[in-house]
Amino acid sequence: MTSPEGTRAVPGTPGAEVPPPETTDTPARRLRGVPRQRHRTARSGEPRTGARDTGTLAFVESPVQLLNVLEWAHTAQATGLTVVVLSPHDPMTRGQLRRMAELARDEGHTVRWEEARGGPTAPMRTIGGLTPLLRRARRVVIGDPFSRYVQLLLSLARARDLVVVDDGTATMEFISQLARGEKLVRWHRNGSGRGARDLIFAPFSATARRRLTPAPEGGRRTVGLFSSMPVEAPPGVEVTTNEFAWTRGRFGPPRLTRAADIVGTSLVETGVVDTERYLAAVGSLARTHGATRYFAHRKESTEKLRRLVAETGLEIVRPDLPLELIARRGPIGRLIVSFPSTVVHTLPLALRGTEVKVAVCDIDPEWLTANASPRAQGFLDGVTGTARDVQRLPFTQPMAAG
């Protein structure tokens, strides 16, 4: 199957070049086309009217991060940002990023695509090319404070204003660690964090943590958080709520189907949840709620999805944009069932004003693998327990129904 189309380079737009389309082997179809827009925007590469915010530099590594940069720019009324895509290896992620880059250009922003992981010399080439931009930027927006790449770039930045936008539920762990003064470690990571790579990057991680810690009262450095997650930021961090106003204003409302949809997760791929337990849970949820489609996470493996097709009969959909945009466009089920993940917080906001209901299924502790982080169960329970405007499904319900 062909992955989503690559973003076209805009003539005369510096840094706008992106690689050609790729192919990936997947058992699923994708939703084709960029979602329809309710309001006409400027043509690709043409800024909208208003002052261009040439002093803001944003770094993104995933489609969700880029979506939230667009939401932040809409809320902050910031136009003409320079968005740097630190391109990952994963073909599905790259495909979604290309589509999001098209939407960013439609909003008048400059997108600079960096093959930041394209070989042993790529990091130094990328950092060298970005250093002048980092030195000039007055404000830096980032989507993943845990990223070693971003931590390294932050150590070179002179900007006094930093803004962190959501990278999904990881934002909740970031804020907790920042408030406790701990080192930045992803919640699902298991280990001491004292491997060779960890030791090499430790100074950059420490610098990034200091840069992301608010300055004392009266200081000239500011730290902001733009989030739809339920977080309690430490003193000095200015929090702005992400209401997904840009998404709702540009797309939909969606056409609704009678059947339910299930949202997939990469908890198996990250080593948190056992494969067999996950497949059984999905099958039980599909039977209980009459689901016919399964929206795959961009990091889910092809082998697991093939098994889901064979064992559940679900139609697998590989979205070519973040699910918030796909759902807002439609067609989408009147009930969306998810495991603990970002979408249980974001979909109710993106679908506000529609008749769509979102339900979240708890993770049974027995589903966790032996290699799961000791923090995994508590973190997942927190994701579920803090979700607003969702129906909670205890894990005993779907498993008993199976």
Tell me, yes or no, whether 16 lies in a domain. no
Clarify whether residues 371 and 343 are in a common domain.
yes
Tell me, yes or no, whether 10 lies in a domain. no
Three-state DSSP class for residue 109: coil
- Given 217, 248, 279, which residue is the final one in a domain? 248
Cis before 132 (ω within 30)? no
Whole-angstrom distance, CA of residue 383 vs CA of residue 343: 10
pLDDT score for 169: 80
Residue 367's closest CA among 266, 263, 280? 280
Tell me, yes or no, whether 24 lies in a domain. no
Clarify whether residues 261 and 232 are in a common domain.
no
DSSP alpha helices (H): ranges in 244-341? Answer: 245-250, 275-289, 302-312, 323-329
Clarify whether residues 216 and 257 are in a common domain.
no
- Given 219, 248, 277, which residue is the final one in a domain? 248
What CATH number is attached to the domain comprising 373? 3.40.50
Clarify whether residues 71 and 106 are in a common domain.
yes
- Can you spell out the DSSP letters for 20-57? PP-B---SSEE--SPPP-SS--PPTTPPPSS-B-TTEE
Clarify whether residues 134 and 61 are in a common domain.
yes
Clarify whether residues 202 and 336 are in a common domain.
no
Instruction: Express each pLDDT in 314-367 by its tens digit.
Output: 999 999 999 999 999 999 999 999 999 999 999 999 999 999 999 999 999 999
Side-chain-side CA neighbours of 44 within 13 Å: the count stands at: 14
Clarify whether residues 330 and 268 are in a common domain.
yes
Clarify whether residues 241 and 268 are in a common domain.
no
Q: How many domains does the chain have?
A: 2
pLDDT score for 187: 56
Clarify whether residues 78 and 218 are in a common domain.
yes
Instruction: Express each pLDDT in 238-277 by its tens digit.
Output: 999 999 999 999 999 999 999 999 999 999 999 999 999 9
Tell me, yes or no, whether 4 lies in a domain. no
Q: Do residues 25 and 318 make contact, with C-beta atoms less than 8 angstroms apart?
A: no
Tell me, yes or no, whether 22 lies in a domain. no
What's the pTM value of the predicted model, to 2 decimals?
Answer: 0.83
pLDDT score for 48: 40
CA dihedral over 359, 328, 318, 376, signed as positive or negative: negative
* Residues of the chain falling short of pLDDT 50: 1-51, 192, 400-402
Clarify whether residues 273 and 397 are in a common domain.
yes
Clarify whether residues 190 and 333 are in a common domain.
no
Tell me, yes or no, whether 197 lies in a domain. yes
pLDDT score for 107: 97
Tell me, yes or no, whether 213 lies in a domain. yes
Residue showing tokens 């299924």: 361
Q: How is the beta sheet containing 29-30 ordered, strand by strand?
A: 29-30, 315-318, 291-295, 260-263, 335-338, 357-361, 391-393
pLDDT score for 28: 37
pLDDT score for 327: 97
Domain span at residue 100 reads 29-248
* Backbone phi and psi for residue 290, each to the nearest 5 degrees, phi listed first: 70, 40
Whole-angstrom distance, CA of residue 378 vs CA of residue 382: 6
Clarify whether residues 327 and 243 are in a common domain.
no
- Given 223, 248, 273, which residue is the final one in a domain? 248
Tell me, yes or no, whether 396 lies in a domain. yes
- Extract the runs of DSSP E, i.e. beta strands, from 173-268: 222-227, 237-241, 256-257, 260-263
